[in-house]
Structure 1
Amino acid sequence: MLERLELEAFLTLAEELHFGRTAERLHLTTGRISQSIKKLERHIGTPLFERTSRYVRLTPAGRQLHDDLLPAYEQLRAGLRKAVDAAHGIRHVLRVGFVGAASGQLMVHAAQLYAERHPGCRAQPRELQISDAYPRLRDGDVDLLIVSLPHEEAGMVVGPVLYSEHRMLAVSTRHPLAGKETVSLEDLPGVRLLQARAVPAHWRAERTPLLTPAGHPIEPGPAFETFQEALALIGAGQGAFVVGSQATRYYARSDVAYVPFSDAPRLEWAPLWLASRTTPCIHDFNRAAQDAAGRDHLAAITADFGM
């Protein structure tokens, strides 16, 4: 029988791909996480993760187990949340998906402000990966997304820009570009740009183009599903990726360098939702998010990212 700790340790590690961050999220030691994973692997009879000094990755068996367990686990958590909400008089829950740590921090403050202004309503922030953000919005798993512009998805509405940030190139610290003060879009032929799986075509063209503005070809690199997986590939020298400046604060690594672009437009982040599911709650939350982005207690975010 699968114990709760083994289940949570496995699903969290599959998302973070890092024992330290998994331990922090579950308020446990890394040793306890490692023991739980080993116990689960003994029970299953096969390794679920590949572990090296540079990265942690799901094995094919681990990926299959993750895909099978996650829907049931999310359904169980949703049922428990509904029971708790009913006990506390919560009438409506707005599920807000976000991609990136800065958006997550902003969403926590926006959710607090939204709850203060609208008693009986609650916003539930949910961290997503860019590879599953759009499908989960279309499937109704979340009501609203906070992601980077531009958007060209049919049937979706884009809300007001909440914050912006400088673009940077994430490369291995061993790469020649890592020592430069700035890079240009015309430097991209000198790297292999990692490819995010299952993203819209317009997002891929914007963030991982095949040509520079001058028409020089850019070589595609390996594909990834989570940002932590992308960072592991970058640190191992297998490619590079265009990120926002928030990465320097939230995703600092000894094997990855972040070099600002001198000629690339800023990344803008905004809410996105389905036109067919527009509700007053979405507009109320967007106003709370705008106000939260401008509050003094978020000055650390806005100073770094350019609001």
Structure 2
Amino acid sequence: MGWPVIERYEVETLLALAEELHFGRTAERLRVSTARVSQTVSKLERRVGVPLFDRTSRRVELTPVGRQLVRELRPAWEDVATAVRHAIDAGRGVTGVLRVGFVGPAAAQLLVGATAEFQRRIPDCEVRIREAQPAEIPDRLRAGDIDLALCAFPDEPAPDLDRGAVLVSEARVLAVAVSHPWAGRTSIPVSELERVTVIRLAGTVIPTATAQSGPVATTMQEALTLAGTGQGVLVLGAHARRYHARPDVTYVPLRDAPTVTWGLMWPAGRDTARVRAFAAAAESFMQ
């Protein structure tokens, strides 16, 4: 006589009910009816030959045999689920290496959390992280140096680069020298940018076409140094106040300017399973 065969849905029902100890919550968790849960458990108990749960109108508890079965069955079931997940991941190309670029310390902090969530879901995929300047991101994506990048979305989208969901949205501020006449202002309307020279960080645009364009900096620290020496004002996202505090620069809120949105970008047509999985993990982390 062969061993009794336990179906997958029976195992899932048993383990779920062992955790919930409530037929209604188990049914909701498995997206089936309460009657289906009860029928499945009864069928399994008949196959095993003894009750697995003591149930009354007020509570549900595992019997000693039920506890033993769950204790011995759960690790084996988890091993089966892991093996199946690994096979699916390998077939979809989720394993391997994912190269992720980022811009600045604020993105770095977000990337730490997103990477942890991604590797919790897909532990066999290695994530290699690379820092880049804003102007470098498009070319590095196109060249395949990185698979995707976490950065501020450009105001003018590139048709050959796809965007994921907006993960962060922030207001804009002006970085001005502490000796600048605007240093003591509580805010500056964006329309007043036409009265001053505006420093631009390469790879970004000034949020008004009427501003007087000034020097172009290749790095954040270069741009802030230009602002600190009075060679112009610099438009940044509000995160700069936290991550780029300097004694020679102060930050003033910029009114009526469009917000800065941050998220993931990747080359069009190269949204691999790894890229999609990382984007989903990043969205989940930010919820």
Q: Give the TM-score normalised by the residue count of structure 2.
A: 0.64
The 3-state SS of whatever aligns with 1:276 is coil
Paired residue for 1:243, among 229, 236, 250? Answer: 236
Deviation at 1:124, TM superposition (A): 2.2
**1:174 aligned to 2:173?**
no
Query: What residue number does 1:188 align with?
Result: 193
How do residues 125-136 of structure 1 correspond to structure 2 at under 5 angstroms? 125-136=129-140
Q: Residue by residue, what CA displacement relative to the aligned partner does 1:55-99 show, whole Å, maximum 9, x if unpaired?
A: xxxxxxxxxxxxxxxxxxxxxxxxxxxxxxxxxxx9512111111
The 3-state SS of whatever aligns with 1:162 is strand
Bigger-Rg structure (1/2): 2
How do residues 1-307 of structure 1 correspond to structure 2 at under 5 angstroms? 91-149=95-153, 150-197=155-202, 199=203, 203-204=204-205, 207=206, 209-211=208-210, 218-294=211-287
- C-alpha distance in structure 2 between counterparts of 1:281 and 1:240, whole Å: 40
Q: Residue by residue, what CA displacement relative to the aligned partner does 1:260-303 show, whole Å, maximum 9, x if unpaired?
A: 12211221111111112210111110111112223xxxxxxxxx
- C-alpha distance in structure 2 between counterparts of 1:152 and 1:160, whole Å: 14
- C-alpha distance in structure 2 between counterparts of 1:166 and 1:151, whole Å: 18
- C-alpha distance in structure 2 between counterparts of 1:244 and 1:172, whole Å: 17
Identity level (%): 39
Residue identity matched to 2:151 = V
- C-alpha distance in structure 2 between counterparts of 1:277 and 1:262, whole Å: 38
- C-alpha distance in structure 1 between counterparts of 2:135 and 2:259, whole Å: 22
- C-alpha distance in structure 2 between counterparts of 1:267 and 1:193, whole Å: 17
Structure 1 segments (4+ residues) deviating >4 Å: none
Contact 1:172/1:234 (8 A) holds in 2: yes
The 3-state SS of whatever aligns with 1:258 is strand
Deviation at 1:123, TM superposition (A): 2.1
Against the structure 1 CA distance between its residues 195 and 237, is the aligned structure 2 distance closer, same or farther, given a 3 Å change threshold?
A: same
Contact 1:161/1:270 (8 A) holds in 2: yes
Q: Which moved more, 1:147-156 or 1:280-289?
A: 147-156
Tell me which protein shows more helix as a share of its residues: 1
* Aligned positions, number: 193
Query: Which ranges in structure 1 are unaligned for 5 or more consecutive residues?
Result: 1-89, 212-217, 295-307
Deviation at 1:162, TM superposition (A): 0.4
Deviation at 1:148, TM superposition (A): 1.7
Contact 1:98/1:125 (8 A) holds in 2: yes
Contact 2:199/2:223 (8 A) holds in 1: yes
Against the structure 1 CA distance between its residues 170 and 210, is the aligned structure 2 distance closer, same or farther, given a 3 Å change threshold?
A: same
- C-alpha distance in structure 2 between counterparts of 1:252 and 1:98, whole Å: 20
- C-alpha distance in structure 2 between counterparts of 1:185 and 1:219, whole Å: 12
Q: Residue by residue, what CA displacement relative to the aligned partner does 1:154-189 show, whole Å, maximum 9, x if unpaired?
A: 221111000111110111111111110011011102
Tell me the C-alpha RMSD between the 2 structures: 1.7
- C-alpha distance in structure 2 between counterparts of 1:151 and 1:94, whole Å: 26
- C-alpha distance in structure 2 between counterparts of 1:240 and 1:172, whole Å: 8
Against the structure 1 CA distance between its residues 225 and 208, is the aligned structure 2 distance closer, same or farther, given a 3 Å change threshold?
A: farther
Against the structure 1 CA distance between its residues 124 and 156, is the aligned structure 2 distance closer, same or farther, given a 3 Å change threshold?
A: same
Contact 2:207/2:257 (8 A) holds in 1: no
- C-alpha distance in structure 1 between counterparts of 2:260 and 2:134, whole Å: 15
- C-alpha distance in structure 2 between counterparts of 1:242 and 1:136, whole Å: 24
- C-alpha distance in structure 2 between counterparts of 1:113 and 1:122, whole Å: 13
Q: Give the TM-score normalised by the residue count of structure 1.
A: 0.60
Deviation at 1:110, TM superposition (A): 0.8
- C-alpha distance in structure 1 between counterparts of 2:97 and 2:109, whole Å: 19
Tell me which protein shows more strand as a share of its residues: 2
Deviation at 1:208, TM superposition (A): 5.3
